[in-house]
Structure 1
Amino acid sequence: MMEALWVKLTRVDWTSLLSTHGVTVLKIAAIAIIARLLLGAGHRFIEQYSRKKTNKAQTLSPLLKQLWRYLVLFLAAMLILDQFNIKLTPILATAGVAGVAIGFGAQRLVRDLITGFFLLLEDQYSVGDYITVGSFSGVVEELGLRVTRLRDFNGDLHIIPNGNIDNVTNHARGNSRARVDVGVPYEADLDRVIGILQELSSELAAKLPEIIEGPEVLGVVELSNSQAIVRIQAQTTPLQHWQVEREIRRAIKNRLDREGISLPYPRYVIYQQGSNREEKPEGNS
């Protein structure tokens, strides 16, 4: 078999073949090299644009790279086909008819693409924003024309088709609100505790740069079975309210310990006929 193949190759007039198609091969090679250079130059330009570290730049960077790649490859393919004297008009006409036929069978894909376009145009959210879409919440890792990728706090990646996005809650636009409820036992002096919390709030406002406004002691918001609930509230920079709440709780616990004020615990009161009133912690008999 190899001998027969070798005989066929030796019978080919390579000189005539190269003189006939050599220019075409060189043109195709030149088109491929230029396309590769254009791809690299475009990607470097887009990466330089995305170094601005803004959410908008990071959102558009992957999308622009994809669009640039498709455009360069499409133009290169058209030019290569032209070297073989393949008419582009019938191909484009056929592609148009095929596109209409595919469109009827891919309405969901078209819906995803259109929705993705308007999400980008209206700037509803960007890469790095913390959003809620339906039952999914997480940080946006990628916003494409077809899907949005969310990474939740557990590390799970949620891939959501853009056509399924009806309502979006963007938690990263505007200031966040930190809210901490402090339980005060009824045995403690409530006014004294509120005064301590107000003093502590002033210290935290000067200490934590994430706090924009407050913290403010709103007062008693609830009276439960074993405690009075005092609420503290503050305005923070976007998505920093969780950290501020943790710092406020830690500071409150340390300050109340130093002031000799214990935190409340569940309890119940037992009344027995013919005996004195006795109060016991929950769980003891």
Structure 2
Amino acid sequence: MPISSKMLERFIVKFSAEETWIGIGESLLQILIVFILSRIVIVLGKKIISKFFLMREKSPLRVSERRDATLLRLLKNVLTYTVNFITIIMILEAVHIEVKALLAGAGIIGLAIGFGAQSLVKDVIMGFFIIFEDQFSVGDQIKIKDYEGEVVEIGLRTTKIKSSIGQLFVIPNGSILEVTNFSILNSVTVVDLTLPYDGDIERAERTISHMLESLPAKYEDIVKTPQVLGIQSLNPSDVVLRITAETIPTRNYYIGRVLRKELKNCIDENYLKATVQEEA
């Protein structure tokens, strides 16, 4: 009898046996139970983590909200990866695959390719430093090289930044050497006001300074009363006054637009001859 015929006969005999189908049914049932339990663990685990951080927000010993938001997302990702890894191992055991031998082989292969995965290791190490040194957090406005925007996610390997026009930049953590964080310290907005040579500069400074004193009460983003620094430059046909305003982090662009509007209204109301220039 040909070898192929013998194999086919053994195959038919094996799958005709009741024990085979019972074993398959048990394996499928185990896989289903493991999968359902893993989903339940992930959902409950994420709720517990969220509840823990919610309690921290109400605590008088609360730490940085930026750091909490970053750690919250990171812990949820770690929980998902860990549970999914354990689920895969249990499913392999349910179908009678030798997990120990598989892990040993994977360890040898991983060691072999590890020398070529140094950039991955570097990304993970830098991810730890970024998170635990609190260099920046989810929600911060940052700039990395030519990429600027809001941090939407920090992982162990990559950082995701969303630009003001909706672009999503995915940056490997290992390539992050310098970071500019706009969300930690107060910002400053600068507006230049152009006056003609025949204008009354002293009167203009007094009028504008009086108007600026009312702005902190109108706009909560302004930290303190904006200042008229004085003459910034002398041009052939005009004089440039510089006005600055300190704002809460990342609100300098908004306050810059507000300040230009208020200056324009002040000029019109007091019949001053001047032109408001773009922010320097």
Q: Which moved more, 1:193-202 or 1:74-83?
A: 74-83
Describe the superposition over 1:109-139 as per-residue Cα deviations: whole angstroms up to 9, x where unpaired: 2222221121111111111111111112111
Aligned to 1:113: 124
**Matched residue type, 2:16:** V
Aligned to 1:280: none
Q: Which runs of 5+ in 2 are unaligned?
A: 1-7, 58-63
CA contact (8 A) 2:15 2:21 kept: no
Q: After TM superposition, give the deviation of residue 208 of structure 1 in Å.
A: 1.4
CA contact (8 A) 1:172 1:238 kept: yes
Q: Which has the higher contact order (CA 8 A, sep 6+)?
A: 2
Q: Is 2:17 aligned against 1:13?
A: yes
Aligned to 1:148: 159
- Structure 2 CA distance for partners of 1:11 and 1:243, relative to 1, 3 Å: closer
Describe the superposition over 1:175-217 as per-residue Cα deviations: whole angstroms up to 9, x where unpaired: 1112221111111111000001110111112221111122111
Aligned to 2:251: 240
CA contact (8 A) 2:31 2:91 kept: yes
Q: Is 2:84 aligned against 1:73?
A: yes
Q: Is 2:169 aligned against 1:158?
A: yes
**Matched residue type, 1:160:** I
Q: After TM superposition, give the deviation of residue 221 of structure 1 in Å.
A: 2.0
Q: Is 2:188 aligned against 1:167?
A: no
Q: After TM superposition, give the deviation of residue 56 of structure 1 in Å.
A: 3.0
CA contact (8 A) 2:193 2:275 kept: no
Q: Specify the SS of the correspondent of 2:256.
A: helix
Q: Which moved more, 1:202-211 or 1:91-100?
A: 91-100
Q: After TM superposition, give the deviation of residue 218 of structure 1 in Å.
A: 1.4
**Matched residue type, 1:99:** G
CA contact (8 A) 2:14 2:20 kept: no
Mapped partners of 2:147, 2:237: distance in 1: 36
Q: Specify the SS of the correspondent of 1:154.
A: coil
TM-score, scaled to structure 1: 0.80
Q: Specify the SS of the correspondent of 2:107.
A: helix
CA contact (8 A) 1:226 1:264 kept: no
**Matched residue type, 2:261:** R
Q: Which runs of 5+ in 1 are unaligned?
A: 266-285
Q: After TM superposition, give the deviation of residue 45 of structure 1 in Å.
A: 2.9
**Matched residue type, 2:42:** L
CA contact (8 A) 1:227 1:264 kept: no
Mapped partners of 2:113, 2:51: distance in 1: 37
Query: Highest CA radius of gyration, 1 or 2?
Result: 1
TM-score, scaled to structure 2: 0.81
Mapped partners of 1:202, 1:216: distance in 2: 9
